[in-house]
Amino acid sequence: MRYVKLPSENFEEFFNSLKSWGTVYAPVKQGNIYSFKQVNTLGEVSLNYTRTMLPPKKFFVHPKDTLLKLKNGRWEESKEVEKIVLFGVHSCDIHGLQILDKVYLAEPIDPYYKNRRENAVIIGISCMPDEYCFCKSLGTHFAMHGFDLFLHELPDGWLVRVGSVKGHEIAWANESLFEEVTEEDLKHFKEFEDKRSASFKKHLNKEGLADMLDLAFDSPVWKKYERICLGCGNCNMVCPTCRCYEVCDYWINAYESVRVRRYDSCFMETHGLVAGGHNFRPTRLDRFRHRYYCKSYFDPSAGFNCVGCGRCDEFCPAKIEHVKVLDEVREELK
Amino acid sequence: MNPFQTYDARILEIKELTPREKLFTLRFVDPEINKEFTYKPGQFVIVDIRGFGEFPISLCSSPTRTGYFQLCVRRVGRMTKYMHKLKEGDIIGIRGPYGNGFPMEEMEDSNLLLVAGGLGMAPLRSVLWYALDSGKYKQIYLFYGTKSYEDILFRDEIIHLLKHGEAMNCRVKLAYEVESPSCIYLEKGFAPKVCKGVVTDLFRGEELDVENTYALICGPPVMYKFVIKELLDRKLTPGRIYMTLERRMRCGIGKCGHCIVGTSTSIKYICKDGPVFTYWEALSTRGLI
Ligand SMILES: Cc1cc2nc3c(=O)[nH]c(=O)nc-3n(C[C@H](O)[C@H](O)[C@H](O)COP(=O)(O)OP(=O)(O)OC[C@H]3O[C@@H](n4cnc5c(N)ncnc54)[C@H](O)[C@@H]3O)c2cc1C
Ligand code: SF4
Ligand code: SF4
Ligand code: FES
């Protein structure tokens, strides 16, 4: 990794220079929630945000996405891609994108996702956990790659990790704004990380979690939550690693039609419904449990399908807590 | 290359197999694609009726017969209703083939026991033809369970094999549930190969060479449990029992997430890890059957 320092007094100028790399989107406070929005000035950005409601996946897998347009009886690929800079992405969300990469960039490659990924600059930012975060338990609290630049807060500026060729080019173009990193800066960087590491309140015990869950298929805990869960699917929408989608064709006029995909949720009754009315996950219990299995699936090459961002807890109207459910399942098994 | 793009295929022929099922014979309009298109028995394609939607259908013809492919479509809902309204000469979109298919090469020189229930006959017909055409398999058994005489898919072919199958090392047995004069006539003509009952009744009196046989099953979800019990009772190992499964599918290529089954230790996509699985995989992946 290459490290440079961005002094506070140069921060705004650096921020403004990002506009030449694409439209800048950053966390903005709206009422009580944060959301990635287009921004023009540094003043609009909430640098100390906790988490946005929708994760950055919304830029790569749009909530509603036109795949193909029917013209003269043939499908034409819908091709608009915008150059974007995602400014202020937290480490867990960078990991979330890498989990999506495993799906969408696996053969056969999803060209829409790939194009958008290639046209995006990812600038990470350090954060402090709140009561919902448990990324440390999953090892997603620090990003080693998947970003172009990562900004770590220092008392008098930012320690910048340069994570890609594109990141290097951005630093290059702003050479005059950066300084060498000093021993002092590294000390502050380490202090910040230590303080952060000690601030996590929530921990997920993931030891043997995959097997443990498998054994607990008939656990009464699932039945308890079947009654509490509203089946609204919020937890899926806000999750940086959830990516089920549904596809529909729409007619725009008598000659033109579009094929659109949009977010789907495994909490919806139709998710496992096939022809003739047979449903492979007919009850809410089946669907609730399925989500936990999907999130806690242990892929030896990728780890869990959860990055511990805490969104599903914060935005669950029934106040269901991910870690608590898993702990209860484990407890019941003992 | 956009994997969601579909290719024009012309409907050469439409045959009404039953009041609910039609057999579509298709060929790609582009001769290049036509030449390159090949598949394994057990694979499926995504049919695209442009402007209306897409749905998965098994290939029911065999790759040994080139220049065309066939799909047997049951009318059950919105999309399949559109499909049934199409006429010969019409063009639809096709993408695929998808899925793993049956391991036809691995099974060479063995006996094949095909167990089909209802529409499950469609993918297994591909195996049947492939096995008959290639001549690389020892004895081929087909146990087919159907509701009534009218529901027998590929009735002409089945009756032909009831008559002449033995000469091709192919033993076909048929179980029907609803009695009718036609069924009684079949039963008289081909006793004991045709009987009233369910598909598991066809196992009665059959010796299985367990060392040398692969079972291939396709049918409605309820059928698997019963058929597998018959096979396990005869000591066929779980690794030699293949079955093809169905789930809701949107993309067919492991992106949309609809066909995911399993638990934390093993997650499988029916569309790309399947639709063909062994019984061993079902034992180690919850919710597969
Ligand atoms: C691997 C595979 C192979 C198949 N092979 C055949 C075959 O050879 N012949 C045949 O007749 N049918 C086959 N099916 C089932 C066929 O895909 C469904 O009957 C068809 O999608 C129903 O669509 P519909 O709109 O008419 O039904 P509706 O009941 O109106 O369906 C509503 C929606 O659910 C979706 N849906 C319903 N059932 C299924 C399903 N089983 N799989 C995926 N999506 C579904 C449809 O796309 C549709 O948009 C197969 C399914 C799979 C997964
Ligand atoms: S499951 Fe919850 S905590 Fe884990 S990544 Fe998804 S939203 Fe975040
Ligand atoms: S957000 Fe909460 S209530 Fe809604 S489906 Fe998810 S767990 Fe259930
Ligand atoms: S059909 Fe989309 S993931 Fe399998």
State which of A150, A174, A199 marks the end of a domain.
A199
Q: How far apart are CA B131 and CA B64, in angstroms?
A: 9
3-state secondary structure (DSSP) of residue B265: coil
Mean pLDDT computed over every residue of chain B:
94
Asked if the peptide bond before residue A108 counts as cis, ω within 30 degrees of 0, the response is yes
- pLDDT tens per residue, range A40-90: 999 999 999 999 999 999 999 999 999 999 988 889 998 888 999 999 999
Cα–Cα distances in angstroms (integers) from residue B282 to residues A179, A204, A290, A320, B11, in the given order: 59, 30, 17, 31, 37
What is the percentage of chain A residues whose pLDDT exceeds 90?
A: 88
Q: Where are the domains of chain B?
A: 7-98, 111-244, 246-289
**With a 6 A CB cut-off, is A91 part of the ligand 3 pocket?**
no
Q: Which domain holds residue A254?
A: 209-333
- Whether the predicted pLDDT of A301 surpasses 80: no
Q: How far is B219 from chain A (nearest CA, A)?
A: 13
- pLDDT tens per residue, range B161-220: 999 999 999 999 999 999 899 988 988 988 889 999 999 999 888 888 888 999 999 999
Q: How far is A301 from chain B (nearest CA, A)?
A: 13
Asked if the peptide bond before residue B97 counts as cis, ω within 30 degrees of 0, the response is yes
Residue A329: inside a domain, yes or no? yes
Same-domain status, A49 and A94:
yes
One-character DSSP codes across A261-329: EEE--TTSGGGGB-GGG-BSS-SHHHHHHHHHHHHT--BTTTB-S-----HHHHT-TT---HHHHHHHH
Mean pLDDT computed over every residue of chain A:
94
Same-domain status, A29 and A173:
yes
Residue B174, beta-bridge partner list: B144, B194
pLDDT of residue A302: 72
Same-domain status, A25 and A133:
yes
Confidence of residue A298 (pLDDT cuts 50, 70, 90): confident
Assigned CATH for B7-98: 2.40.30.10
Global model pTM greater than 0.90: yes
State both tokens at A27: 């966390």
Tell me which DSSP letter residue B204 carries.
T
Atom of ligand 2 nearest to the CA of A235: 7
Same-domain status, A177 and A237:
no
A259 contacts on B by Cβ (under 8 Å):
4
pLDDT of residue B156: 94
- pLDDT tens per residue, range B74-114: 999 999 999 999 999 999 999 999 999 999 999 999 999 99
Residue A204: inside a domain, yes or no? no
Same-domain status, A239 and A328:
yes
Q: Which CATH number fits domain B246-289: 2.40.170.20, 2.10.240.10, 3.20.20.70, 3.50.50.100?
A: 2.10.240.10
Q: How far apart are CA A218 and CA B111, in angstroms?
A: 39
State both tokens at B28: 């790609």
Confidence of residue B36 (pLDDT cuts 50, 70, 90): very high
Are the beta carbons of B131 and B139 closer than 8 angstroms? no
Residue A18: inside a domain, yes or no? yes
Atom of ligand 1 nearest to the CA of B275: 1
Residue A239: inside a domain, yes or no? yes
Which residue type sits at A286?
D
State which of A170, A199, A228 marks the end of a domain.
A199
What domain count does chain A have? 2
Same-domain status, A107 and A130:
yes
Q: Please report how many Cα atoms fall inside a 13 Å half-sphere around the Cα of residue A63, on the Cβ side.
A: 7
**With a 6 A CB cut-off, is B78 part of the ligand 1 pocket?**
yes
Confidence of residue B289 (pLDDT cuts 50, 70, 90): confident
From the candidates B265, B266, B285, which should be mutated to test the interface with A, based on the most A CB atoms within 10 A? B265
Closest residue to B264, CB basis, from A106, A272, A293: A293
Backbone angles phi, psi at A284, to 5 degrees: -65, -30
pLDDT of residue B287: 81
Residue owning tokens 């997430």:
B257
pLDDT of residue B169: 92
Same-domain status, A234 and A142:
no
Average pLDDT over residues B12-24: 96
Architecture of domain B111-244: 3-Layer(aba) Sandwich (3.40)
C-alpha of residue B255 to centroid of ligand 4, in Å = 5
- pLDDT tens per residue, range A143-182: 999 999 999 999 999 999 999 999 999 999 999 999 999 9
State which of A143, A167, A199 marks the end of a domain.
A199
- pLDDT tens per residue, range B214-249: 999 999 988 999 999 999 999 999 999 999 998 999
Same-domain status, A195 and A221:
no
A231 Cβ under 8 Å from any chain B Cβ: no
